[in-house]
Amino acid sequence: MTDQATDSALLASILDTVPDAMVVIDDFMAFGAVTAARARYLKVPDHLGIVSFNNTSLCQLLEVGLTSVSLDIDRMVELAVRKLLSIIEDGEPSQPKREIVPCEVVERGSSKHRGSSTHRTDPSGRVAHSQPGHRSPSPASSQ
């Protein structure tokens, strides 16, 4: 079986039990989940809520809009590069360090809650709510 066939078979077996919602690793896979749900006559979000990651432009192509977590990829890459350079300079890995990179949940119609609010995490990982239509600056950008 190809990876795509394996993914489709796994998704089909999950949808046989019809969960309330699915959290999918990225927006592309979420579209596959929507397609599989429709093939089983399941309506998103009435029968199945779907949330994904990356907040790509695909999120707005889905009729109801796809709720997605927008990740600060630039910050994640910056931290990874710093860690790699530190390992190269020191010649050995340092002690593991926990880094929290703020993210933003962009809520659209694919999740049960029908609001159009935006949720951000602060540097401690707690969710900070903002008003619909208001996009507060990322904590990382204010440093």
Each of the 143 residues of the chain gets a pLDDT tens digit; together they read: 456 666 666 666 766 777 888 999 999 999 989 988 888 888 999 989 999 999 999 999 888 899 999 999 999 999 999 989 988 998 877 788 889 999 999 999 999 754 445 555 555 555 554 444 334 444 443 33
Nearest CA to 37 among 58, 56, 22, 55?
Answer: 22
> pTM of the entire structure?
0.65
Are 94 and 112 within 8 A, CB to CB?
A: no
Give the C-alpha separation, 41 to 1, whole Å: 26
pLDDT (0 to 100) of residue 19: 81
